[in-house]
Structures are given as structure tokens and as C-alpha cells.
Structure 1
């Protein structure tokens, strides 16, 4: 996902990151293994051809990263993903599949289920070179805070159920009766966080929701379908002049930023813009939040979820300065705390995604 890439001098890895490769192709495993072993910062801890072999390996070995091919015979990677995450809760699962370029549905599902990112695997003839560099850069982005692993970590208990309808204590500056719109920004690790947040929303909640998630445009139809299921409400990929309507979700497309404009009847609509954003991201969270601050003022509620870099920090400041509220994902639950950490001093509170969802669930549109 778009974001800042660490240079070699910026990477601080206390130990060589241990990587498990799960791919049914022996050639792919060999090429990926050579790419990993070419860097002193990483080592191949294991290389297996099936999901079941991966689970057996994880019973006795601890790893930092799992490179998971989704398209495997027998038990495919997507089906095995929940068990793999439970077996290695500290590991970061990266989807590495030839299907990530043109068949995004499975990849989006994997990201919603807990995979942290994806790398597109080209044909076997193109596995070296550019792919190797992209893979190592991805590991560097996700592994800058690696801590030593001493032993396998016991499987985590199943996620706790979402609490009942009672909202959590409101943070200072949060007024559940004030907000007219929710605008959410996310990048690496954000889809899984977003799924937790959306599941906490009641189906009858009427606040419109805008989302800018760093994803390629080809993934957006699948992402919209996934969000609609998770949120229990219609979800559309934004087109120019689309109306902002109660109870609906609008996603920024992969090739444009979204901005809100006020209409003569006091409603709002979306404009697509492709101007350069200071963050370098396309789409960028900043234009969305800046326009929400301008149009809705104190009625704006901004949410910053896991992601690399600082995209959204300037827009979040504008929301706060306009009288709105900013909530951000806490460090403990963020895959990457770059974007949430960038709003430290701006956000009213840092919370886990489920709690943020329950706060939003307590809001009522004016």
C-alpha cells in the first residue's frame, strides 16, 4: 500500500526477521527464498508447499512474517488464514499471489480477515528483479519494529465478541449528538481494522461514511462489496457528483481523491480530484478530511486507522480546528502506527477499532 519506504540506513531491525514461505510452487519458493536470503535483515525460517505443513511448522517455530500464496491446491490460503493467524498471532501475514493483480476479491477478503498487506507475484519468469525488491521493501516497511522471538507464541483465544449496544465512555471533546458525517482514512493494516469498526455499527445508523483506503483501483469493486457486507449498508465507489446520503458508505476510487462540496439544498455531494497530494498518495486522506472540515465543521468526525506515513495528518488538524473530532487507532492494535501516530496531539483519543465503532454507533444524525 502507498506510504513511506524506509531506506537501508533508517531500518532498525534488532534481529534477522524470520520468514515462512507458503507456496505450492517449488520454483516460486526457491526464488522467493533467494530474494529473502540476499538481505542480512531477513532469513528463511521455513519453506512449505501446503497450508497444513505451515500449521505443523508453526507448532514448533516462531516467525515474524508469513508469505502466503492464496491459490494452492487442497486447503487454499484464504481458507487456512484464520488458523494460520491463530497459530502465529505475532507474525505478519503478507499475501503473495499471482491473483492479486487481476482477481482482487480473495485478496481483499484476506486483508479483512487479518493479513496485513499484499505483494503481487508475477509470472515465474518475472519473479526476480523488481519483484524481489518490492518484497524486501515491504518487509522493511512492516518490520522496522521487530522484537526478538524466543519461542512460538501460544494461539490467541478467539476474538472477544462485540459488546452490547451500550457505548463506551466518551473521550473529552466527543459529542455523540454533534456529528453529521464520518470520514475514515486507512492504509497498511487498515482493512482488518476497518472490518472490526464496521461490525460494531448498527444497521439503522444513519450517519454517512466516507472512506479513503490506500488500494489500487482494480481492487475497489471487491472492497466495496466487502464493506457493504461488514457494515450492513450500501457501499459505493465514488463517482463525480455522487450525493452523500444517510446510511450509506462512499469509497475513494483508486485513481482519485474525494472531496465534499455543499449543495444549494444544504446536502452534500462528492467531487473527484486528481491533484498532487503532499503525501504522494493516490487516493489521499488529506483532501477528503480537508473538505469534510470545510463543509461540515463541528459536524465532522474523522477516524485515522493503521497505515504507513503521515497521510491524513494535515486534514485531521483542519477537522479539529473546525470544531470537529478526530479519533485514531491505538498503537497496540495498529499494524503500522504511522498514520495514527501522526495525529498525536490532534486526536481526542487513541482506541482500538471496535471501541471506535461503538462510539460511532452511539452518534445520531441531527
Structure 2
């Protein structure tokens, strides 16, 4: 049975979260009331997973994540409020080594979390599969591509990137390695709560050479621009003309239990885009993206999957590789270079 530690400064929230997890056959072996206590409790009990609140006295969740990852590396799920400040703090925790995030409906202390009990149990069980040892690798050993005046890129290239568990920092690192000279159109589908995708887009915008924003219905982008799929909406490539593409957003049924779905964006891109198209699948739980990679390959595009060694969870890339439609499997630190190799003109 999965063993968990629940960390929250609210006794009420600890009780509710513990009851939900134990009803889902997850054994809560200990609780902690703040980050300092969490570090000690995790070291003592060595659980399989930790649920971590963000705002706590003495030591907050961000600091606790950093100390736990240094002393007792353990998969950590952040439980954060639906606020701008909560989203930013959560991304800092992901930077320090947390694996995934789930939003608390109704704020820091709320009965609303009971409404997402199935999601909470499922997410905890997926986070358990994460390999904490990949955290250090996500911030080191990056092979930043060099671009010189002699490089020539194909006209109007599009890249579709899909990721889930453990993905935010990996997507950020990949995007930061893509030079503006490549003039890419980039579509990003990251499984993430709807209250966090806007902040995620802003982070990517500030840390890359591309103009990145959260997608809105009817958005158009050209070279040097990127869209992040809005949480709880599928992002469909609806039109492509003269190097500019348009997306539509919808709330059609979930695919693979998620919305947005990587498959939806990749399949529509494969159907609609006539110029160079590259599909990339990164770390994550599940099979979303496999059908999309297959569609891109069938349409004459090129495909890349992150390798097992550098994935927090080798689910999405593994399922894509099993289709036989992945051209290159490579570590996270070389994915940006791999993308550029698909859009360089042949000499």
C-alpha cells in the first residue's frame, strides 16, 4: 500500500485530506503542521509520497520541498490555493523539486477539496511513480544549441510539445534552449489545473526568447510565438495559412481523463498544418500523446520523446515509443537541440 505524509497547517485540512487518501487505499503514516516538522517527519517515516501545503508558519512549503529533496528525496505533490500568489509560489516549489500540483478549490482552508477527492487520490498515486533523482538532472547537463550565421531553417516550422507529471520545469528548460532565429510556432499542452496555466505561460515568456501566452479561443500565432493550452480546455488547430495558425478552444469530453489533451492538439495540427511539423512528448503519466505522435508521423512530421532516465514519470514517452512512430529518444538536456535538428535545412 502507498504510504503518505500529509503536510498542512490547518488541522481541518489535514483531517479532510487524510480521510480522502485513506478512502483511496493510501496509508497516511504521519501528518505535519509546518515545513520544519515535515522535514523531520519525512526523514523519520520515509513515505512514498508527500502532500504539501504552500503557505505555512515557521517554514513554508517551498523551503520544505528544498530541504526534503536534499535530505530525503521523496515525490511531493503541492496543494495550492486558486490564487495568483498561490500559483507563483507553487511554481517555485516545482523548481525546487516538487513533482506536481493540485489546486485547492475554495482557497487554503475549504471543504471544497472533498469535491476533487477522486482527482486527489489519482494524482497522489501518479506522483508516487515519479523518480526524485531526475530533479537534479533537470537543472544540469543541458546542451544549449549553438546557432550561427550559417544556420538556415525551414520556412514556417511548427512544434507541438506535450507533458504531464514532472513537466513544467522540463518544458521551461526545453523552451529556454530554442533560439528566436528558428522562428518556430510553438504549441504547448501541459496537464495542469486551469488556475495555473496563465502563470505558467508568463513564466515561459520571461524565460525564453519566444512570446508566450495562454491560449484564447480564436488566437493566431506566427513565427517566434507560442501558446500554452488553457487549463480545462482542449486546444485545436483550426486553420493554417501563410505561416500563421489559428486555434480554437473547446470543452469536449476529456480524453485519457484529461483536458486539455495532447492528442487533440497534435492530431489537429497533423491534419491542418502543411509545413514542417515536429511533435515532442515529455515526462508524464498515462498514454496521452501516443495517438498524436502517430498522427504527426503519418502526416510526414518528425517526432521526439524524452528518455526514461531523465523522466520523472516515463509513461507518456513510453506509450508514444511503443507506437513505433518516434524518430528520436533523447535526454531532456538535448531535446532543444533535437527540435532544431528537425527544422534545419538539409545541406
Q: TM-score, normalised by structure 1?
A: 0.77
- Alpha-carbon deviation of 1:76? 1.8
Write the distance in 2 (CA, Å) between the matches of 1:280 and 1:237: 21
Give the match for residue 118 of structure 1: 101
Specify the alignment match of 1:76 in structure 2: 60
Give the 5 Å matches for 1:10-89: 16-38=1-23, 41-89=25-73
Contact kept, 8 Å, 1:96 with 1:120, in 2: the verdict is: yes
**Aligned pairs for 1:165-184 within 5 A:** 165=145, 180-184=157-161
Partner of 1:287: 264
1:350 pairs with one of 316, 321, 329 = 329
Inter-partner Cα distance in structure 2 for 1:132 and 1:78: 24
SS in structure 2 opposite 1:236?
strand
- Correspondence list, 1:92-241, <5 A: 92-99=75-82, 103-122=86-105, 124=109, 126=111, 129-143=114-128, 159-165=139-145, 180-202=157-179, 204-241=181-218
Contact persistence 2:80–2:86 (CA under 8 A): no
* Contact kept? 2:3, 2:47, Cα under 8 Å: yes
The CA distance in 1 between the partners of 2:264 and 2:329, in whole Å, is 22
CA RMSD, aligned part only?
3.5
Q: Distance in 1 between matches of 2:275 and 2:222?
A: 19
- Helix, strand or coil: the match of 1:231? coil
Contact 1:261 1:291 in 2 (8 A): no
- Superposed displacement of residue 362, structure 1: 4.9
Which of 222, 235, 239 pairs up with 1:261? 239
Kindly tell me: are residues 279 and 363 of structure 1, through their superposed partners in 2, closer, same or farther at Cα, counting changes over 3 Å? same
Q: Which string of whole-angstrom CA distances, capped at 9 and with x for unpartnered residues, describes residues 66-125 of structure 1?
A: 111001123321244333323333x21101234469943333443455322223335656
> Structure 2 CA distance, aligned partners of 1:240 and 1:129?
31
Q: In structure 2, how many angstroms separate the alpha carbons of the residues matched to 1:128 and 1:68?
A: 14
Q: Deviations over 1:180-206 (max 9, x none)?
A: 111111222221321232233345442
- What runs of 5+ residues in structure 2 fail to find an aligned partner? none
Deviation at 1:267, TM superposition (A): 2.0
Q: Is the 8 A contact 1:176 1:363 kept in 2?
A: no
Greater relative contact order structure (CA < 8 Å, 6+ sep): 1
Change (3 A) 1:359 1:21: same
Whether 1:272 aligns to 2:257 is: no
Q: Distance in 1 between matches of 2:111 and 2:54?
A: 19
Q: What SS does the corresponding residue of 1:342 show, helix, strand or coil?
A: helix
Number of matched residues? 334
| 1:281-360 alignment, distance < 5 Å | 281-297=258-274, 299-344=276-321, 345-360=324-339
Instruction: Classify 1:73/1:302 alpha carbon distance in 2 versus 1 (closer, same or farther; 3 Å).
Output: same
Whole-Å separation in 2 of the counterparts to 1:218 and 1:284: 17
Residues 1:195 and 1:84: Cα distance change in structure 2 (over 3 Å): farther
Q: Is the Cα–Cα contact under 8 Å of residues 209 and 249 in structure 1 kept in the other structure?
A: yes
CA contact (8 A) 2:174 2:335 kept: yes
